[in-house]
Amino acid sequence: MVARKNVMNPPPARPELERLLEEARKKEVTDEMLVEQRASFVYGNAPEGSKITKESARAASKSMRLLLS
C-alpha cells in the first residue's frame, strides 16, 4: 500500500506567500479592473473559431451590469 502524507500536520511556514496575500487583501478592485477581468474570462472561454474578439468581449462586459442583493 502507498504511504500517504499525514494531512493533520500544520502547513509549512510561507512568509513570502503570507505577505503577498495580505497585500492582495488590502487592494481595492476598481470597476475598470472588473470590466477587464470579465472580458478576459469571456474571451478565454469562447469556443475556438467563434467570432468573439477581445474587443467585442470588452464592449459586452462594459454594457453588462450585475445586480447585487
Q: Using the structure block, give the residue that is written with the C-alpha cell 477587464.
A: 36
What is the rounded distance in angstroms from the CA atom of residue 46 to the CA atom of residue 56?
11
Where are the chain's structural domains?
31-44+52-64
* Rounded-to-integer distance, Cα 45 and Cα 16, Å: 32
Does residue 67 carry a pLDDT above 80? no
Taking only the tens place, the pLDDT of each residue in 20-41 is: 999 999 999 998 898 899 899 9
> C-alpha cell of 52?
468573439
**What confidence category does residue 6 fall into, taking pLDDT thresholds of 50, 70 and 90?**
confident
- Burial label for 68, CB within 10 Å (0-12, 13-18, 19+), is exposed
- pLDDT reported for residue 1: 67
What is residue 8's predicted lDDT score, i.e. its pLDDT? 81
Res. 65: pLDDT tops 80: no
Average pLDDT, rounded, for the chain? 86
Check whether 3 has a pLDDT greater than 70: yes
Q: Which amino acid is at 52?
A: I
